[in-house]
Amino acid sequence: MVMKPLTSLGVILLFVLAAAGEDADALYRQREDLAKATQAAQIWSSHAADNYEAAWKLARAAYWIGGHAPEGERRAALERGIIAGETAVRLAPDRPEGHYWLAADMGALAESFGLTQGLKYRSRIKSELERVMAIDAGWEQASAVTALGRWYYLVPRLFGGSRSKADEHFRRTLEQFPTSITALLFLAESLTAQHKTAEAAQLLQRVLDAPIEPEWAPEDRDFKRQAAERLRALAAGAPKP
């Protein structure tokens, strides 16, 4: 098959899309300034309908915005992220990013907006995370393994939750990635709930001592702040729920 040469308009369009993607990535790296995260999401939104990279990055940005925007704006952001995640999964079903961020947005919506949302999305969240693990269990420091552990921790036992399975997943991540801040924090939370406060305190200190990953610096700083609060609560004899 003979490929037709790009028209001058087509070449210009490619350069515009590349520049927009680069600008969005640069904005998103400064996402602790919520306005810049929102600008990045707007850029990706304009291409997300038929571009995998834009779709999954929009789902990722929506997750951040959904956790940091004013309360009244969070649900809409997460719902937008779910739509973008669904698009990403459709465009590239064998890539991990779409499945993961779709699950993340669903999980945040389920965790933040009540039992009805939790029941609505619980099965889909689990299946999307298991899909990521089937594609690449070690992707992004076994993020899907850790997230599935969180699923087991948060879901009531009646609907498939299991504290032992949660801890098993967190420890599985830490066997491969011992400085995973997310797995350390989530395991510490689980152990605190089980009144295993000595080990929980050790894990929280490991969160504080762990290096910050440049790509995930805003998230790591958030988790370190949470770890410091929980460690102070443990030291005061009043475990943070």
Say which CATH number the domain at 82 has: 1.25.40.10
Give yes or no: residues 113 and 177 share one domain: no
Looking at residue 10, what is its pLDDT?
40
The C-alpha angle 68, 219, 92, rounded to 5 degrees, equals 90
CATH of residue 234's domain is 1.25.40
Query: What pLDDT shows up at residue 22?
Result: 65
Residue 240 lies in a domain: yes
HSE-up of residue 67 (Cα within 13 Å, Cβ side): 18
Q: What per-residue confidence (pLDDT) applies to 112? A: 83
pLDDT for res 237: 82
Q: Is residue 174 part of a domain?
A: yes
Q: What is the pLDDT of residues 88-116, one digit of tens each?
A: 999 999 999 999 999 999 999 988 876 66
Q: Where are the beta strands (DSSP E) in 129-177?
A: none
In a domain, 38, yes or no: yes
The residue from 101, 136, 171 where one domain ends is 136
Q: How far is CA 133 from CA 8, 130, 155, 181, 217, in A?
A: 43, 5, 19, 19, 24
Of the three residues 85, 104, 136, the one that is the final residue of a domain is: 136
What share of residues in the chain are helix, strand, coil (percent, to 5)? 80, 0, 20
Give pLDDT, residue 178: 98
**Cβ–Cβ < 8 Å for 43, 20:** yes
pLDDT at 117: 62
Q: Which two tokens stand for residue 69?
A: 């925007």
60 lies in some domain: yes
Q: Is residue 123 part of a domain?
A: yes
pLDDT at 21: 52
List of the chain residues with pLDDT < 50: 1-19, 239
- Helix axis angle, 163-176 relative to 181-193, nearest 10°? 150
Question: Which residue range forms the structural domain that includes residue 100?
Answer: 31-136
